[in-house]
Each structure stands twice: as C-alpha cells, then as structure tokens.
A and B are shown apart, each in its own frame.
Chain A
C-alpha cells in the first residue's frame, strides 16, 4: 500500500527514556507459530480469494476490463450505486452527527431504547432488513409511500444499512470531548453555533470522516437488503452487486471479476482513508 504519511516528529535525544513497555518483546517461538498459522488461514480465506478476483479480471486484459465495466447496463448500475452511496453518506454525515449529539448531550426518557435502535440495522440480516423496509414502504404501505421497485428504494435501503456507522464513530469522541473547552470558547464570547463550528466540529471531523468512509463502502457493496425491495430494474434500481451476481449466474466470470475489482478498489481506498485518519488521531493523542 503506497500511503504517503507525513514524516514523524523527530524524537528528542535528551530527556526521559522512551518507555517502550508495550510491545516489549520480539516474536518468541510460540508467537511465531501463532503468526504462521493465523497468516495461513487469513491468506486462504481472504487474501488468496481476493487476489483471484483481481487476477481473473486482469486475465481479460485492459480491453476486457473496460468492456465489462462500460457495458451499458453495468455502467448504469455503477452510476446508480455510486450516486446513491454518495448521497446517503452525505445524509449520514449530517444525521449521524446529529444522532450522536442527541445520544450524548441530550437527556430524555426512552433514550436508552434509541441507543439500541441504532445497532439494529447492523445486527439485522440484510434480507430481513429489506423485508422490514417493505413493510412500511412496500405496496400496501400504511404511509401511502410506495417506494418499492423504484429508484428511491436504493436510497432507502442504503440509509437503513449504513445508519450506525457515523453515529458509532462520532459518539465515543463526543463523549470524550472536554466540555470545558466549549465553555472556554463561550466565555471568550463565541456563540453556540460558532463554538460548534470552530471547536467541536474540528474535533469530530476525523471520526465523521471514518464513519463516512465505512458507510460509503458498505453502501457501494450492498446487496441483501435490495433483493426484495428494489425489484432490480435495469437503469433504475439495479445496483452493482446485482450485476456481479447476474454475471456469476451466467457463468461469465471475467465480467463478474472485472466489476468486483472495481468494488475492491473502492474498499481498499476506504481502508487507506481509515488508516490515515486513525493514525492522525492517534498522533494528536
């Protein structure tokens, strides 16, 4: 991975010894064996199969790859997926931060219940998530909102499955945030909005970015919740995962692998963003 990190600050040569208590020892024999076994399993389960996807896509050559991802129906699916994932991520950045704020700073009866509600989309099987959404936004919607089998269903499903990410990243940071700093800003004459914008938001930004990256990655690869909800209408509600699946079912592995590689690149980018953000936060202390 070619992540260009900022140079570390130079270490002082005089002064207290660097306390390198953890990790305190190099690999012993037992941990060497442990590392070997776990790496073997990780390779067999994750790394080799993902490499196979990329290798299969590469075997078709750049032309094959290009043809696979620019196929009219596939390109439309990619466009729909990315557009919906981006919009939903944006909504999550705003709503997720708001939800985290309410959960941490507000107090009212039933808050504990909301706390649990946030985790439901993560724990619920995706196929059940689709079914759940159908019950309110399907054909006999009690709200009169029939979103099933329309382009909106994609947005709805993404919103549901990505709900926890920003909330759960921002919440602990907000809890740790020293309220005295905000009070200090207020004492210096800052309005509540200014305090939020100038003091709180910069502190939350890395967590929001990490949550947004995770929620984008999740949305781009989403499949299960859409199966029953979206109707998989080409050019309207068919997403990238569905295109990969139909290529697999037609035994067209090169095409499937090409589209899958595109998704993998997005996943990798997200991992890189997360790594960089987390390191920056760690350095800030």
Chain B
C-alpha cells in the first residue's frame, strides 16, 4: 500500500502527529531518559557499586536463573501447545485456547496468591505433601520460577500459532510423502519454518520474566541472598532511600528490556524484507 503517491498531508495530519509525539514524550520518552541520566548522575559509580555488592549480584543471578528456566519451560510448552492447537483436533480445544490467554489478564498478586494457596508449605493444597518429600516451593526458587512461568506463559504461543496457521501443513505432508517420520518432519521442516516466531516468543518471554515483580513478591518471602530478585531489590533500595542504587538496578533491567525490543524489531524488519 506504500507504492501509491498520497495527497499532501493536510492540517489534521500535523495536528495528530504533534499530539501523538507530545503524548509519547510525556508518558514514555522523557521519563525513561531521566532514568538514564539519574543513573549516570555521578558517572558510572552507581552501576559499579551495584555490581560489587554480593547481595545484589545474588539477586541478579536468581533473576537470571528464574528467567532462563521459566523461558525454557514456556518455550517447550508453547511450541507443543501451538502444534496441538493448530494441527490436531481434540475436544475442549476452543476453551483451552481461550484459557491460555488468561495469564496475561490476571493480576500478578492474584497469581502469587493462587500459587501460595496450592503450594504453600503450611496449609497449601499440595504444599505440605511436597515439603514432606523435601521440595519447598513457596519462599524458594521453584516458587519464583513457577510465578515467572505463569505470567509469561502465553507469549510463545501467541507468536507461534499465527505463523503455523499461515504456514499450513502442505510442507509437512510433502515431507511425510517423501518418507520422513513425525520426528524428522518436526526437526527438519516445521521447526525451521517457525524458527523466527519461536525466537520472538523467547525474547518476549525472557524480557517479561526478568521483570516480574508482583507475583514473585508474594511467593518469594524476599529472603536476602536467597529469594530476593532484582526487581525486589529495586523496591527495597528505593524504600531505604538509596535512590541512586534503585535507579542503577532499574537501568540494568530497563536496558535488557530495551535491548530485547530492539532485537525483536530488528528481527521483524529483517523478516519483512525476506
């Protein structure tokens, strides 16, 4: 649609453009840039002191571990579910596909509460049994991973399903007619075709996982050096009047997110040019 020459933009176009830019500057661009300037108000001192604080390094490590594990789980889960939803018929498929979007619209605090009610060590539904078996979920890393996996669950599916639908199953049928088994068809034909969708999904899941706060706050118990994640550390620093520290961690987290967005949009535009 871009090929055609358009009439010269009228006054409405300029009014809209100015309005939109002003809105975005006030709501997003200016505040985000202030975080950057606040972080570097005293040079890179704030950042360095963060990376030298062993408790904070622990928090960053826990955040990374939880995000990587949750992303791995959600990727395998998401690709499997997408294939099932698009390529097979089973009863209850429609309800499942609607329910899969639920985690995106549930409050993080409710997510945390839900997990505590089931896996809480004292009086959760399964918690006491699991603790009897030596597995503590709530106030421990598994709980943090579950909370993280919950909130980012649909992201891979939302990227992969439309691509699978658009792709159709002709290539898969062709592979099977040439003698490929189900597994060979998946690894050699299906996966390479949905590769970029999976990559987008993984990047988005990762970004979402690194930043989860509310659900993690409920399930973690915020034990220093053990169950404190980076986002929890931001809150704590700020409330302890260490604004500079809070801005520094926030900057770290924000740069990872922004990097993720840049990566995704570069991949997307590359894909569009193919």
A interface footprint on B129-158 (CB within 8 Å = 1, 0 otherwise) = 000000000000000001001100100000
Shortest beta-carbon distance from A267 to chain B in Å: 4
B30 at the interface (CB under 8 A from A): yes
Q: How large is the interface on A (under 10, 10 to 19, 20 to 34, 35 or more residues)?
A: 35 or more
> Which residue of chain A has its CB nearest to the CB of B4?
A179
B104 at the interface (CB under 8 A from A): yes
A115–B28 Cα distance when bound, in Å, is: 12
Shortest beta-carbon distance from A165 to chain B in Å: 10
Whether B88 lies near A27 (C-beta < 8 A) is yes
B interface footprint on A154-187 (CB within 8 Å = 1, 0 otherwise) = 0000011001000000000001000100000000
A interface footprint on B154-175 (CB within 8 Å = 1, 0 otherwise) = 0000000000010011100100
Shortest beta-carbon distance from B271 to chain A in Å: 14
Within 8 Å CB of B254, what residues of A? 124-125, 128, 132
Which one, B28, B111, B213, B261, contacts A125 given CB within 8 A? B213
A106 at the interface (CB under 8 A from B): yes
Whether B118 lies near A49 (C-beta < 8 A) is yes
Within 8 Å CB of A108, what residues of B? 17
Whether B103 lies near A21 (C-beta < 8 A) is no
Within 8 Å CB of B260, what residues of A? 123
A interface footprint on B2-21 (CB within 8 Å = 1, 0 otherwise) = 00100001101100110111
Beyond A50-B110, A114-B24, 16 additional contacts (C-beta under 8 Å) are A35-B84, A37-B80, A49-B115, A52-B118, A53-B117, A108-B17, A125-B253, A125-B257, A127-B231, A128-B250, A132-B31, A132-B35, A135-B35, A221-B105, A228-B235, A245-B217
Interface residues of B (CB under 8 A from A): 1, 4, 9-10, 12-13, 16-17, 19-21, 23-24, 26-32, 34-35, 38, 73, 77, 80-81, 83-84, 86-90, 94-96, 98-119, 124-125, 146, 149-150, 153, 165, 168-170, 173, 182, 204, 207-208, 210-214, 217-218, 231, 234-235, 238-239, 246-247, 250, 253-254, 257-258, 260-262, 264-265
Q: Lowest 3 CB-CB distances: which A-B pairs, in order? A: A221-B107, A125-B211, A49-B114
